[in-house]
């Protein structure tokens, strides 16, 4: 998919405060610091989403309008984050409500760090998405952190742990996986 236009639309604390134009939404979710904002920047080819080294920078639901046709949505991460307990506690209900009540949500890209094949939080999120029958495609991030010769072993461990056949391996640093992710998004949009 070719990105011809991208606009940052808004940040919302509640699912009801998102755009009301009825366009489909593809959200990205994963642990804090897994690379959600970096992935959005890779996909769009621009530094639209703010990236920080400290986990927990994304604290609201961020909407990016792509080609005036659909939204890429950056969700707050789960797990460890350098934020106050009150802020972190509010994220769960906010993200839960967004994913279960947002009628325009077409799919979720679940990001998994290649080095954490057995993360209980990621496994729990995968089960939660399946339980709620939310269309999900898995993206393994930070592939550059593992030597090429050992990468397959890590990918196979993730496939086994998460009971998935296909996933996209991505490295923002090496700019790999972008084409495959856009293919996943295009397939979702064709079916909406």
Question: pLDDT tens for residues 57-103?
Answer: 456 899 999 999 999 999 988 764 444 454 444 446 888 899 999 99
Provide the whole-model pTM.
0.87
Strand partners, 169: 140
Q: Domain limits of the chain?
A: 6-190
Residues 6+ apart with CB under 8 A from 137: 107, 108, 109, 110, 167, 168, 184, 188
**H-type helices in the chain, by residue range?**
36-44, 85-101, 120-131, 148-162, 178-190
Q: The domain 6-190 belongs to what CATH superfamily?
A: P-loop containing nucleotide triphosphate hydrolases (3.40.50.300)
Q: What angle do CA 34, 142, 71 make, to 5 degrees?
A: 55
- Beta-carbon contacts of residue 59 (< 8 Å; ≥ 6 apart): 76, 83, 87, 91
Give φ, ψ of 84 to 5 degrees. Answer: -65, 155
The CA–CA distances, whole Å, from 95 to 56, 77, 173 equal 14, 9, 28
pLDDT digits (tens, 9 = 90+) for 132-175: 999 999 999 999 999 999 999 999 999 999 999 999 999 999 99
């Amino acid at each position: 998919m070719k990105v011809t236009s991208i606009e940052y639309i808004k940040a919302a604390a509640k699912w009801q405060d998102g755009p009301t134009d009825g366009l489909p939404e593809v959200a990205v979710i994963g642990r804090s610091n897994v690379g959600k904002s970096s992935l959005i920047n890779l996909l769009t080819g621009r530094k639209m989403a703010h990236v920080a080294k400290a986990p927990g920078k994304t604290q609201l639901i961020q909407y990016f309008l792509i080609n005036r046709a659909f939204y890429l949505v950056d969700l707050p991460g789960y797990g460890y984050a350098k934020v106050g307990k009150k802020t972190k506690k509010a994220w769960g209900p906010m993200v839960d409500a967004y994913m279960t009540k947002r009628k325009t949500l077409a799919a979720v890209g679940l990001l998994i760090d290649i080095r954490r094949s057995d993360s209980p939080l990621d496994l729990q999120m995968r089960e939660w998405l399946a339980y709620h029958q939310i269309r999900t495609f898995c993206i393994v991030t930070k592939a550059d952190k593992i030597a090429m010769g050992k990468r397959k072993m890590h990918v196979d461990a993730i496939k086994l742990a998460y009971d998935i056949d296909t996933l996209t391996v991505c490295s923002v640093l090496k700019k790999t996986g972008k084409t495959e992710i856009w293919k996943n998004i295009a397939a979702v949009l064709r079916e909406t």
